[in-house]
Amino acid sequence: MSESAPQDEWALYRLANLYAQAVDRRNAEALASLFTENGVIDRSGNAWRGRTQILGIPSRLDGLYASTLHTVRNQTVTITGDTAEGETYAVAYHLKRPEGGKQVRIDWGIRYQDRFMRQDGAWLFAKRELIVDWVETTELPVAP
List, for residues 7-37, the tens digit of each pLDDT value.
999 999 999 999 999 999 999 999 999 999 9
CATH 3.10.450.50 matches 5-141? yes
Alpha carbon distance, N-terminus to C-terminus of the chain: 54
pLDDT band for 116, please (50, 70, 90 cuts): very high
Mean pLDDT (the chain, rounded):
94
The yes-or-no verdict on residue 2 having pLDDT over 50 is: no
Count Cβ atoms below 10 Å from residue 101 Cβ, excluding itself: 7
pTM exceeds 0.85 for this model: yes
Closest CA to 70 of 89, 56, 51: 89
Q: Is the separation of the CB atoms in 67 and 24 below 8 Å?
A: yes
Q: What is the distance between the alpha carbons of residues 58 and 25, in angstroms, rounded to a whole number?
A: 8
Distance of CA 86 to CAs 16, 25, 43, 122, Å? Answer: 11, 25, 16, 17
Tell me which of 65 and 141 has the higher pLDDT: 65
